[in-house]
Chains A and B, each alone.
Chain A
Amino acid sequence: MSAELTFKDFETSQEVRWCPGCGDYAILKSVQRTLAEVGAKPESTVFISGIGCSSRFPYYMNAYGFHTIHGRAPAVATGLKLANPGLDVWVVTGDGDGLSIGGNHMLHTLRRNVGLKVLLFNNEIYGLTKGQYSPTSRPGTRSPTTPLGSTDTPLSAGLFALGAGARFIARAVDTDKTRLEPVLKAVHAYNGTAFVELFQNCIVYNDQIFGSFTDKTKTVDGQLHVQHGAPLVFGEGGSKGLRFVQQRMQLEVVDTENHADEILQHDETSPVLAQLLLGMQTPEFPMALGVIHRRSEQSFEDKFYANHPTGLTRTARVQDVINSRNTWRVE
């Protein structure tokens, strides 16, 4: 490369139009910085989105961008990846776009392991349509469509992804760039579907919904940053940790001093551990963040090309194929 890129190389001339204070700004900056750092080329990078606040993302990235229709970004991205597997394709979606109207495509993208980098902005609310409750909203959420509080059981994005067969599941908080950016680097490096749930604050319709673990006073006890091979500890100086209670097949928070030999080590290749970590809820447990699950497996597009008899290249002429079977001649 002739010159090092900076995050400015990934900015566009378009005025960014999210609400002041929206978590999307921080995520945008982190993505731009990460792409510059990993040396991504704007022309080989594509951002594909559906509909919603987060789906405006492609307009603000100096890369190829396609703002598609509600929920269908993973399907469009799959077609693109099949046509040109060499591209870095990012899918930007939200809890409504990716888990409600587009839940089916998300499910099949994950089980196929298409080489897409999925950033799911979860703010637990429909922002663009002015604040209706979403499939991740907590029971009792008051919204224009649920004035008495919602009664639906919410979906856990992480557990959904795991159930769909995701091989890479990570979680991060929008404004925590020091932890978000390493996750984005891991996403960039991964060859299959990298699914990231971003806890994104909607300052207008659902402000501080993640306050139980993102509020400045709560981060130490409310967040557990997982590292493959490292003990699952959190709290002041790592004073608390997780142990497995076999009789109940559950996790339990214990103090590390008295239970040093029982503290679990993170194994990102274990789907069972991933399920336990993804299922933890505040305040009983900390929120697990970072790369929670990662297994290496051939991507869908690699399998597609490997199994295609000619690797999708043209090795015969149409004329020969037409003339090859059961023909007869009339003189």
Chain B
Amino acid sequence: MGERESIVLRIAGDSGDGVQLMGSQFVASSAYAGSDFTTFQDFPAEIRAPLGSTFGVSAYQVNLGAGPITTSGDDPQVLVAFNPAALKVSRPLLAEGALIIINTNSFTRRNLAKAGFEKDPRETGELDGYRVLEVEISQRTLEAVADLDLTKTSAGRCKNFWALGLLLWMFDRELTPIEGYIAGKFKKNKLLVKANLAALRAGNAYAETAELSAPPQRVELQAADFAPGQYRGATGSEVLALGLAAAGELADRRLLFCSYPITPASSLLHHLVRLSQLGVGIFQAEDEIAAACAAIGASYGGAIGVTSSSGPGIALKTEAIGLAVSAEIPLVVINSQRGGPATGLPTKTEQSDLYQAVFGRNADTPVPVLAPASPSDCFEVAIEAVRVALRHMTPVIILTDGYLTNAAEPWALPDMGDYAPIECNQPPLLTAGADGESIAFQRDPVSFGRPWVVPGTPELMHRLGGLETNIETGHLSNNAENHQHMSQMRADKVASVAKFLAPQKVALGPDQGELGVVGWGSTYGPIYQAVRRLRDTGYPVSHVHIRQLNPFPENLESLLAGFDRLLIPEMNMGQLSTLIRARFGFEVVPLNNVTGQPFRVADLVDAIRAQLPQSSSEPDTPTPREASL
């Protein structure tokens, strides 16, 4: 295969084949070797789908190389297929000439039938044009661990490490970090440590020594050009969890995370539960509504209340979010978006809850909305969300999605010294004879944030609630004029958030021109790559990526006005397009993808090029990214 800048690898098999573990360990080894990477985990909806079925295929895809790598890649150039179903599902995705590594032991008549192959695809010619490496992975795994006293089932389970050993040889990676991982992972069972180590080493030795019809050639990837610093590989939900804990530290408050399990948001719960030493508490509530309400109660009591879900659960929390707006209580609401409507596609990614976040409440109930662009960006957004919630005393919604939650990339570790402390609005001192009851309603003239007066504070007892209150005293009020003032105050409060946040910048390209491609959230990676590729070949196009979706950055209108045309790719039916049209009156070109999969860079390149028919393409620095194997 020779030296190349980047490569896309896909590992696919049954849910129980250990594909995700194998993928994540392959990535860990690549990170140590200096590659940039982005991963994509494609899970079936079933926990353990029937063995060998196409709908039960679990896949792990990684794009790695010199970078900047910002997507998990379009077309895999290497596929490891543990069974016929994995081949069936993955083959249409592959690049021309891709290398397919097949576990021949699973290519039985029964498995072929289950996968919907009438005949063995190795014999029909449908794999012509690919390079096929047939290996008896299952059998060789059993041989590698034959001396050990294992059941056949346990022995067979080591095949993911056998295959990993083979891959590590192909990519010239060190075994040492993976050996260390195995020793730790199975430390409670010495036999499994031995078995998995034996499988790993056997697969590695096999690749080096075997005489094969199509010997696996080594891939030499150029090292990525990282900025100096400390790195680790991390998924979006891992970084988001650490970002929330960091916000707790910066505000010097406890963080109470109140949630109810839902795919794909639960991983955040799983990460946060491991951060107790950072003053993080977890409350698994009886339902989504209780989770939101308990988070509100926690914030009312002086902790940072956070709740999290996916679209259907957020719908249930809606009334509670309105209460937090009315009572002016800080709250962070995280939505890991998935395909909808209703239960929809729980394990597939989508960005279709933007309307819900911005508009989805009864009455005029504005809420700030932020969206991280990448796993690393989750750290910044988590801190920013808490800062906004505490400054303005408001709920804040963070929109992430199934892809961002599970995707891993190298994370340049932040330096906590770079972050300013998060200020909590302190009540003013009570002067003699003053009315303690109304102190909690004396709002800051710029941010409209009220003092965070918590129960337990002497002299400042007051009542909060969902009924409209007098703008000055906080007492119940049905007065018509007062409601107008309060509604205006709530609108001004959310609008004022933009005053405190950074202006919108261009992610790539000049800040004006023929075409601006405008995105938000997890589409950052594919849009960035597509625009980069087109710019490399001389196309006049820029990429603008919006993190603050409500309110928009103050300069966004003037920035977007500098482009002749705006193309808005989104994993929904055109929600940001609607917002931009409504807010600024610009005509835009929507590009909508709701396949449950991230955008393919190649598709974006075509769509962008179609918006630039007149432009010449004088390639100045062509970047050959997709040379076939």
Contacts and interface: CB of A to CB of B under 8 A. Distances in A.
A44 B455 contact: yes
Interface string A72-104: 100111111111101100000000000000001
B228 A66 contact: no
B294 A78 contact: yes
A42 B28 CA distance: 56
Interface stretch (A169-177, A277-285, A291-299, A321-329): A321-329
Interface centre among A67, A68, A318, A322 (most CB of B within 10 A): A318
A57 to B, nearest CB: 10
Contact of B229 (A59, A87, A329): A329
A79 B295 contact: yes
Contacts of A323: 230, 413
A66 B293 contact: no
Contacts of A76: 293-294, 296-297, 300
Interface in B213-264: 226-233, 242, 245-246, 248-249, 254, 256, 258
A304 interface: yes
B144 interface: no
Interface stretch (B58-66, B426-434, B457-465, B601-609): B457-465
Contacts of A329: 229-231
B229 A322 contact: no
Contacts of B246: 318
B627 interface: no
B413 A84 contact: no
Given A43-B458, A68-B323, A69-B323, A79 B293 contact: yes
B629 interface: no
A329 B457 CA distance: 47
A174 B227 CA distance: 72
Contacts of B296: 68, 76, 79
Contact of B277 (A44, A69, A77, A316): A316
Contact of A83 (B226, B248, B256, B277): B256
A43 B276 contact: no
A31 to B, nearest CB: 15
A46 B461 CA distance: 9
Contact of B461 (A43, A68, A75): A43
Contacts of A312: 254, 276, 279, 281
A319 B455 CA distance: 32
B563 interface: no
B289 A72 contact: yes
A315 B277 contact: yes
Nearest to A329: B230
Interface string A293-320: 0000000000010001110111111110
Contacts of A321: 242, 245, 275, 277-278
A162 interface: no
A302 B520 CA distance: 43
Contacts of B456: 43-44, 64, 84, 86-87
Contacts of B230: 323, 327-330
A310 to B, nearest CB: 5
Interface residues of B, number: 71
B375 to A, nearest CB: 14
Interface in B270-304: 275-279, 281, 283, 285-287, 289-291, 293-303
Interface in A175-224: none
A64 B302 CA distance: 13
Identify the interface centre among A14, A76, A309, A326: most chain B CB within 10 Å of its CB. Answer: A76
Contacts of A64: 455-456, 461-463
A326 B28 contact: yes
Given A72-B290, A312-B281, A331-B228, A317 B416 contact: yes
Tell me the dominant secondary structure on chain A's binding face.
Answer: mixed
B320 interface: yes
Contacts of B232: 322, 325-328
A113 interface: no
Given A84-B456, A323-B230, A75 B277 contact: no
A228 interface: no
A58 interface: yes
B466 interface: yes
A43 B461 CA distance: 6
B467 interface: yes
Contact of B287 (A104, A309, A313, A322): A104
B310 to A, nearest CB: 20
Contact of A318 (B416, B464, B476): B416
B297 to A, nearest CB: 3
Given A75-B290, A319-B415, A43 B459 contact: yes
B305 interface: yes
A23 interface: no
A286 interface: no
A233 interface: no
A45 B278 CA distance: 29
A158 interface: no
A315 B277 CA distance: 5
Contacts of B300: 66, 76, 79-80, 83
B45 interface: no
Nearest to B413: A322
A62 interface: yes
Contacts of A46: 455
B387 to A, nearest CB: 15
Contacts of B463: 12, 58-59, 64-67
Contacts of A108: 285-286, 290
A220 B455 CA distance: 43
B626 interface: no
Contact of B283 (A82, A107, A326): A82
A12 to B, nearest CB: 8
Nearest to A43: B458
Given A63-B461, A68-B323, A87-B301, A82 B278 contact: no
A79 B459 contact: no
A322 B244 CA distance: 12
Given A44-B456, A329-B229, A330-B229, A317 B249 contact: yes
A315 B275 CA distance: 10
Interface in B444-458: 454-458
Given A64-B455, A66-B327, A314-B249, A72 B286 contact: no
A84 B305 contact: no
A41 B253 CA distance: 25
A113 to B, nearest CB: 14
A319 B31 CA distance: 21
B226 A318 contact: no
A321 B379 CA distance: 14
A320 to B, nearest CB: 9
Task: Give the 10 A-B residue pairs with the shortest CB-CB distance, closest first.
Answer: A79-B297, A67-B465, A83-B301, A79-B294, A75-B293, A314-B279, A65-B463, A75-B290, A64-B455, A80-B297
Interface of B: 28, 31-32, 34, 226-233, 242, 245-246, 248-249, 254, 256, 258, 275-279, 281, 283, 285-287, 289-291, 293-303, 305, 319-320, 322-323, 327, 413-416, 437, 454-467, 475-476
14 contacts: A43-B455, A64-B456, A67-B466, A76-B294, A78-B285, A78-B297, A79-B301, A80-B300, A82-B301, A83-B300, A86-B456, A87-B301, A322-B413, A326-B232
Given A79-B295, A321-B275, 9 more contacts: A63-B461, A68-B323, A76-B297, A83-B300, A104-B286, A318-B249, A327-B232, A329-B229, A331-B228
